[in-house]
Amino acid sequence: MSRIAGKVVAVTGASSGIGEATVRLLAGRGASVVLGARRVAQIENIAAEVRGRGGAAIACATDVTRREDLERLVDSAVQEFGRLDVLVNNAGISKIGPMSNIDVDGWSAMIDVNVKGVLHGIAAALPVFQRQGSGHFVTTVSTAGLMVVPDMAVYAATKNAVRTLLEGLRQESTDGVVRTTAISPGFVRTELDSSIDDVAVRERIRRSMDDFGLSPDAVAEAVAFAVEQPRGVEIGEMTVRPTVQN
């Protein structure tokens, strides 16, 4: 039997892409799932499909820039299923483009979603994990932070900020209570490009996604691998990229 069976997992950014794929995969392996996203109709439909296949799932409207929304997501998991074992901090946006565009609003939006959104998740779930004596943060980072390239400086900075936060939390959590995992995907066929305002950059990123991007299922498998490890094993970081990507 999979060690995922029986776990309670909450996922942000669950309405499409990596988040949706993760929900479907973990639910299929026996986890109870709590879907969080701003697009409520979509997560309600996905949750209904999971339940229709015999799984356990609920949807919770979640804007990760709002701390109270993450608290409600975590509370919903505990109230519905009795506990929360894993929080997958997956929501993210990509307002990429040359720094010469001076897109201060885009920079701020990425900080609010990509960095503060993760912190809000940690703030909401950490007390629950400590009270339970166990818990696992799995966070979607990016290969953009591993190899910084033009047009992605601020986006990469937000992802590296999260990588640093997770490492700090890991070092503060060597009592075995909290596990942290950072997963850095390369190009994946998702809707992430929809948040890019620079038309030329958006079209280039979309072409790369379509030409050689991974299926979101590949990243979901990485999440599952981290989650199913025995309690004394922590998968700290994983990189999942297409074989043809630099």
Catalytic pick among 107, 129, 155, 187 = 155
> Which stretches of 79-228 are assigned E, i.e. beta strand?
86-89, 135-140, 178-185
Residues in the chain: 246
150 is catalytic: no
Burial class (CB in 10 A: 0-12, 13-18, 19+), 219: buried
| Strand pairing report for 135-140 and 178-185 | parallel
- Dihedral sign, Cα of residue 226, residue 232, residue 237, residue 241: negative
Beta carbons within 10 angstroms of residue 182's beta carbon: 26
Query: Looking at this protein, which amino acid is placed at residue 145?
Result: G
Task: Answer whether 44's CB lies under 8 Å from 66's CB.
Answer: no
Query: Looking at this protein, which amino acid is placed at residue 156?
Result: A
Tokens of 140: 């979607």
Positions annotated as catalytic residues are 155
